[in-house]
Structure formats: structure tokens, C-alpha cells
Structure 1
Amino acid sequence: MRTLSNDTFQNRSAPPTAYESLLGDSIERAFAAGIHDLERLVAFLNEGGPSGPNGQPWTATTYCDEMARLGA
């Protein structure tokens, strides 16, 4: 019987960029700190980085747009 498993990048065309890794790590730290709402998550990212697209501060709109772009 074959064992099923998930490959690390099975849904991606390439490994994550440094920016994507930093953003993911920061989001994981926010969740670990009990932050689960968008407003507080955006504030957390603005305090600890990484910066939003084009080096701009995060807003709810830029966060949602970036998540949509990265998930495409």
C-alpha cells in the first residue's frame, strides 16, 4: 500500500522568496500571540515587518490584495 504525503512545494511553481518567508513567519508569530482579526494583524505587521508591497505600511486592503496575489 502506498503512503500518501504532501510535498513541501506541491502547489507552488518555486520555493518561497525571502519576502514570502518573512511575511509567513510574521503572520505565524501574530497567530501564536493570539492575534486573529485583520485590524490587529495589520498593526502587528506594521510594528514588526516586513513592510507591505513597495515598502509601504500595511493596510487591510493591501494585506488582502497581497494574500490574493500570493495565493494566485
Structure 2
Amino acid sequence: MQSTDRYLDAHQARQRPPTPYEDLLGDAIERAFAAGVTELPALVAHLNRSHMSTPSGTPWTEENYRAEMARLGA
């Protein structure tokens, strides 16, 4: 066994490939982090400025962001 076998494969727990929405949301979040965004209010504002809406088409709030992350992580 190689030592790299001990490490988590980032996709080993994935049940299915990400949806286009999940890919776009992940990309928008990564861009926010790359821009130095580290706090939730700023992240929500960044998502709204980038026109990345919630699945229902509404703007992001801290509350619906938390709920969406919980849903996606379940």
C-alpha cells in the first residue's frame, strides 16, 4: 500500500456527479474566496453581485445560504 492511499479522495463520498447548478455555485464561491472574501455577509453579497441566484431564483441571504449548504451537504 502506498502512503497516498491513506488520504481522502475528494470525491469518494460523492453519490452522483454535481448538477450544473452545483458546479456554477461552487465556481462562484471559489471566485469569492479567491477575491479574499472570508465572511458570510460578504460571500452572500458576492453571490448576489455575480447574479448567482438560489435554486428558487431569489437573491441570497445568510439564512438561505446556510439552508442551501445544509441541503447540499446532506
Q: One fold, TM greater than 0.5? A: yes
Unaligned runs of 5+ in 2: none
Q: Which residue of 2 aligns with 1:62?
A: 64
The number of residues matched between the two structures is 71
- Supply the AA of the counterpart residue of 1:51: S
Give the alignment's Cα RMSD to 1 decimal. 1.3
Q: Report the alpha carbon displacement of residue 54 of structure 1 after superposing the two structures with TM.
A: 0.3
TM-score (norm 1): 0.89
Q: Alignment partner of 1:53: what SS?
A: coil
* Native 8 Å contact 1:45 1:51 kept in 2: yes
- Supply the AA of the counterpart residue of 1:46: N
Q: Report the alpha carbon displacement of residue 50 of structure 1 after superposing the two structures with TM.
A: 1.8
Q: Alignment partner of 1:57: what SS?
A: coil
Q: Could you list the runs of 4 or more consecutive aligned residues of structure 1 that deviate by over 2 angstroms after TM superposition? A: none
Q: 2:20 aligns with which of 18, 21, 24?
A: 18
Q: Which residue of 2 aligns with 1:28?
A: 30
Unaligned runs of 5+ in 1: none
Identity %: 58
* Native 8 Å contact 1:19 1:50 kept in 2: no
CA distance in structure 2 between the aligned counterparts of 1:34 and 1:50, rounded to whole angstroms: 18
CA distance in structure 2 between the aligned counterparts of 1:10 and 1:70, rounded to whole angstroms: 16
Q: Alignment partner of 1:44: what SS?
A: helix
TM-score (norm 2): 0.87
Q: Which residue of 2 aligns with 1:45?
A: 47
